Structure 1
Amino acid sequence: MNKYVFGILLVSVLFSCNGSKEKKIEKKTNRVSKVVAKDSLKKDEFVADEEFKNDFDILLPRSYRTYDNLNPVSSLTKKWIDLYEDNGEYFLGKADFEIEKSFDECSGDSLQYISSKNKTIIFIDYPELKVGKVKSLKINKDKIWPKEKIVYTFNGVTYTFRAEGKVLSEFKVATDDDKEEIFKNVANYKLYLKIGDGAEKLLLAEDSFQDTFVVLRFAGDIDGDGKLDFVFGANRNYEEQRVILFLSSKAENGEDLKKVSEIAVQFDC
């Protein structure tokens, strides 16, 4: 994921949080986002993020605060599945990790940190997944800006992403590999997906972002059904790490893809 440099913002965050980068978790998101009124929907369109409840949990390799003697890290076991990257290829394996304890001076909370032995994308509480190499696509463009369309082909089937939204501003930012790219502040964002000859569906929608944007982190066949699954980073503000998992094998009611799990971690003081 690209790392964006916002000088004034960074100074503000460092000052207010006293240098802390630790975060708290919202384990399950029950957030309603009325980005599209139901009476205005097209026939084959659905509303994203309506009172969503995880089919199963996911975790990220990072630190989590403890509240009321409870910490999300306590649910992670060796039976969980680790989706990880190794030399440009992706694998599913049993979770291999250590738990480290520390203290967050910013919030005054104790912390537990998941230290993974692998380059983990997400930990998945879905032991039924088959371990081994995952067939995946190389993501050449991880952001789909408004008015852009990107097409992937997997097992002879096309997956067409199309985005809508309002670009408020744009400017150059530095990337992790010391290059520059154009970053855009976007509002009223909608990301659509059309699979093969099927109907275009609304996959993800957000009213606004604070110096962040949606990033495609992984595209491949996680569940082994020959169809693409997706992992998106969808931070809504600069003090959040949010990841969403979509699986094809869990799709219902004639759909081709289903949002099955989401995790949102806030880091504020």
Structure 2
Amino acid sequence: MKAIYRTFFFLIIIFQFLSCNKPKKEIIKSTSKLISKKANVEIEDNKIDSFPIYNDLKVEVIGSGGPFHSEEVHEDADKKIWFGLFRAKGNFYLAETNIMTNRVNDVIVDENEEDATGWEVDTSINDTCFILIEKVPYLSDRIVQNIKIQEKIYPQEEFKFNFSGVEYILHATGDKRKENENSDWFEVSNYKLYLTAIIDGKRHTDLIVAEKRFDEQMIKILFAGDIDGDGKLDLIINTSYHYNLSRPTIYLSKPAEKGKLIKPIGAFPTVGC
């Protein structure tokens, strides 16, 4: 019976994912003075169509908002210890926290108001929680330095910035074409987003996102700062390719392999209606 329910649930989610009303298309009007330059890409692997590989991301993550669908939050999530990225008075901090999960009515899936297959997630800290990360050894309570950067980097654009004394460049490759001759909307495909850092005069470049095509969606940088406390840049990026999918993905510098700038550790995919 449980297997039948899970199959039925996934069929419902897939149907909703494909059939929701599409949002109004976004008009791209870039205002940054640092963009619209062709990215100087040092690493271009045409064999990679999708990155990160989400099945390889082992750290559990829970995003903000909710309620969430039944399969989007693990049943035993409240038994784990978490670190939350919190915001108070305009400043960010990382703090260990317990979470409380409650079953609630899922207005999308549940057939009537008495059903409660959805999840509501609260923290033991009252400040606004931006994202939750499963407790791992390289995280600890701290004030989190952050920087405001450009949210979207389209193909052949770059954005330069300095964080903690290091020069960084976010730059993208791919194809961008107008939907039609009179449209301001661009369709993006074969997209790759790179992070470059200039350290001791040397350039280091990592591929951080690759997506072959989008359905009225675009990669969006949600947060930039030093989450893990090593003085280097960390990122939270919505790596969604579809307008009805949200997928905040956490990239940290501390667990990155030698010679790498950053590593994706966990993601939280959720669907809307």
TM-score by length of 2: 0.70
Counterparts of 1:226 and 1:240 in 2: how far apart (Å)? 32
Ranges in structure 2 where 5+ consecutive residues have no aligned partner: 1-18, 23-44, 111-115
After TM superposition, the structure 1 stretch with the greater mean CA deviation from structure 2, 244-253 or 114-123, is 114-123
What is the correspondence of 1:140-151 to structure 2 with a 5 Å cutoff?
Answer: 141-151=150-160
Cα distance, 1:250 vs structure 2: 0.3
Higher percent of residues as strand: 1
- Paired residue secondary structure (2:76): helix
Structural RMSD (CA): 2.9
Q: Distance in 2 between matches of 1:169 and 1:162?
A: 20
Counterpart for residue 117 of structure 2: 110
Q: Are 1:83 and 1:120, in contact at CA under 8 Å, matched by a contact in 2?
A: yes
Distance 1:192 1:262 in 2: 18
Provide the C-alpha distance between the structure 2 equivalents of 1:47 and 1:13, rounded to a whole number of angstroms: 24
Residue 94 in structure 1 maps to residue 96 in structure 2: yes
Contact 1:64/1:72 (8 A) holds in 2: no
CA distance in 2, matches of 1:154, 1:126: 26
Query: Alignment partner for residue 53 of structure 1, among 33, 52, 56?
Result: 56
Aligned amino acid, residue 65 of structure 1: H
Q: What is the rounded CA distance, in whole Å, between the counterparts of 1:166 and 1:14 in structure 2?
A: 26
Q: Using a 3 Å threshold, how does the CA distance of structure 1 residues 71 and 82 change in structure 2: closer, same or farther?
A: closer
- 1:86-105 deviations in whole A, cap 9, x for unaligned? 23321112236543432224
> Could you tell me which residue of structure 2 aligns to residue 138 of structure 1?
148
5 Å-filtered alignment, 1:37-76, equals: 37=47, 48-50=51-53, 52-61=55-64, 62-66=66-70, 71-72=73-74, 74-76=76-78
Q: 2:41 aligns to what?
A: none
Aligned counterparts of 1:166 and 1:88: Cα–Cα separation in 2: 37
Gaps in structure 1 of 5+ consecutive residues: 1-11, 16-34, 39-45, 172-181
**Greater CA deviation, 103-112 or 151-160?**
103-112
In structure 2, the residue matched to 1:265 is 270
Structure showing greater Rg: 2
Q: How many residue pairs are counted as aligned between the two chains?
A: 218
After superposition, residues 104-183 of structure 1 pair within 5 angstroms as: 104-108=106-110, 110-116=117-123, 117-128=126-137, 129-139=139-149, 141-169=150-178
Output the amino acid matched with 1:225: D
TM-score of the superposed pair, with normalisation by structure 1:
0.71
Contact 1:192/1:203, CA 8 A, preserved across alignment: yes
SS of residue paired to 1:112: strand
Tell me the CA shift for residue 230 of structure 1: 0.6
What percentage of aligned pairs have identical amino acids? 25
User: 8 Å contact 2:77–2:101 — kept in the other structure?
Assistant: no
Distance 1:49 1:160 in 2: 19
For 1:218, give the aligned amino acid. Answer: F
